[in-house]
Amino acid sequence: MYTSDKKLYVAHGPAGPISIEGSMANRHGLIAGATGTGKTVTLQVLAETFSQAGVPCFMADMKGDLSGISQKGAMSGFIEKRCAEFGIEEPQFGGCPVRLFDVYGERGHAMRTTVSEMGPQLLSRLMQLNETQSGVLNIVFRIADDNELLLIDLKDLRLILDFVAKNAKQFTTEYGNISSASVGAIQRALLAIESEGGDRFFGEPAFNIFDLIQREDGRGVMNVLAADKLMLNPKLYSTFLLWLLSELYENLPEVGDAELPKLVFFFDEAHMLFNGTSKALVEKIEQVVRLIRSKGVGVYFVTQSPTDIPEEILGQLGNRIQHALRAFTPKDQKAVRSAAQTFRTNPAFSTEEAIMELGTGEALVSFLDAKGAPSVVERAKILFPLSQIGAITDEERRVLIASAPLTIRAYDTAVDRVSAYEVLTEQQAAAAKEAEEAAAQEEEAKRQALEEKEQQKRQRSSGVGRGLLGTLIGAAATSFIRSVSTSMAKSLVGGSSKKSTGKSILGKAAQTATTTATRKIVNETLKNLLK
């Protein structure tokens, strides 16, 4: 609970209350312990205390247990016993103001970001690209910026990658070499992200990180992320959290060591954050954790053993709560020794032995004092939460989602505005239409040319026919007249009768004319064929 002297009372030792200095709460922290030792309850107690102090928190809820912080707690035999031990009379049970979120938009309000806001650096780490592939991705982002193409979701990125690959020669001179192999590797990595449901994380409306820094009635709002599904995709989980921290670092002003943090992050099951995570991503997380303190943001990791946290990050965690560890194997014993060595020694007891003897709800605690120095480790009992321990029902979840402010509920409806995908698709459709029209025009031109050629051929053939027929008729007529004249002359000389003479003349003339016409037809035909 938050005390009047601006301290965060979270544990009770032999000498009385043990509190975190409000001005040191942004120096980050660690809650560690084996399964079932009370880590989640300790997280809930800390979050409640911050809420009472007016400090909003963000919590990754792996098992759904943390959602109970929204409901009023109740007295139990265990809490009654703790009240007697701590000297607390009539605890004021009550829930905290809560906002439920979910990257997939299923068990809370959607949390999205755009591809542009994520940027090529984080995307490269998410997709585990090599240096060459990262360079190509940077080029693609630069081309998108220069051509005013918005990169909002994964289909935008996928299509512009295809566009750049098909026009690589056009961009090589200005931007550098773009290999098809690198583009192919990026495309395959995008498919892997989509298979993990990452496509729902990219889109609009993009989440405004200032929506995490809210208060209600003087209490800090608890932002609970449903991460039971997200934790199955560690790459997406780690990248999402890193993006969130990076956005806070880039947008929040410098405040130094204020009386209280502006925001506190709790990463439950933190080992999920680092398992299978690339070295580059771990280095980036370390960098952000180290620098974000000056922005008034505290980060608290919750995990089973301190050894789950990379040493570079572990060294940045000044406030520590260590629950029991079990030493059944040589590896476990080594982990116990490592955990004990992270505390400032208390001569009153053996830290290593105490870690193995702690009961549920007990812990070794060491917080930074007002000067920033770690205090001597104390064996203490953690306070009980004033809110419900355990998950809420589906109906209670629906009520919380529906009662959120309008600005938060606006994230529930995805918006797909005009971006690179729509612009490039329209350009491709226009280009395809132009190509189709050009092909049709070319085909029509070919058809017209062929038709004109056929017409000219028919005209030439018709002219030849008319000429041949006229020649034949003329030849036949001439031959007939000549034959008639000849026959008449012969008949007159011979003295035949008129009637018989006429018939004989016409017959002979016709015979002669026919023979001549036939001869003419053959001759003219041969001439035309030879031509």
The predicted-structure confidence for 137-168, as pLDDT tens digits, reads as follows 999 999 999 999 999 999 999 999 999 999 99
Tell me which amino acid residue 197 is.
G
The predicted-structure confidence for 401-420, as pLDDT tens digits, reads as follows 999 999 999 999 999 899 99
The predicted model gives 64-78 an average pLDDT of 91
pTM for this structure?
A: 0.79
Rounded CA-CA distance 189/462 in Å is 71
Closest by Cα among 208, 295, 215 to 50: 215
Domain parsing of the chain, residue ranges: 7-112+204-410, 116-196, 427-530
Fold of 7-112+204-410: Rossmann fold (3.40.50)
Paired tokens of 253: 């002003």
Whether pLDDT at 522 is above 80: no
The predicted model gives 97-126 an average pLDDT of 91
Whether pLDDT at 433 is above 90: no
Whether pLDDT at 116 is above 50: yes
The predicted-structure confidence for 224-247, as pLDDT tens digits, reads as follows 999 888 888 877 887 888 889 889
Rounded CA-CA distance 173/35 in Å is 58
- From the number of C-beta atoms within 10 Å of its C-beta (0-12, 13-18, 19+), residue 364 rates as buried
Count other C-beta atoms under 10 Å from residue 359's C-beta.
11
Whether pLDDT at 9 is above 60: yes
- The three-class DSSP label of residue 366 is strand
Q: Which residue has the tokens 């955990």?
A: 339
Whether 10 and 300 have beta carbons less than 8 Å apart is answered as no
Q: Band of the pLDDT at 483, cuts 50, 70, 90? A: low
